[in-house]
Amino acid sequence: MEPLDPARIRAIDEQMQCHLDYCWAVSDPEVRARYADRMVAVCRKAVWGEGKDSIEAGADAGSRAGCPVDELIFVYVVPDEAFDQDYHVPEWPSDLPWVGLRKDDHGQTEAR
DSSP string, the chain: -PPPPHHHHHHHHHHHHHHHHHHHHHH-HHHHHHSTTSEEEESSS-EEEEESSHHHHHHHHHTSTT--GGG-EEEE---GGGGSTTPPPPPPPTTS--SSEEE-TTS-EEE-
| Domains contained in the chain, number | 1
pTM value is 0.68
Is residue 21 assigned to a domain?
A: yes
Distance CA 41, CA 71 (A): 10
Residue 93 falls inside a structural domain: no
Flag whether 58 is in a domain.
yes
Contact between residue 108 and residue 101 where contact means Cβ atoms under 8 Å apart: no
Domain that holds residue 62: 6-80
Distance CA 96, CA 108 (A): 18
| pLDDT tens across the length of the chain (112 residues) | 777 788 888 888 888 899 999 999 998 999 999 999 999 999 999 999 999 999 999 999 999 999 999 999 999 998 888 776 665 656 655 555 544 444 555 555 544 4
Q: Does 30 fall in a domain?
A: yes
In a domain, 23, yes or no: yes
Burial bucket for residue 46 (CB in 10 Å: 0-12, 13-18, 19+): middle
107, part of any domain: no
1 lies in a domain?
no
Does residue 72 belong to any structural domain of this protein? yes
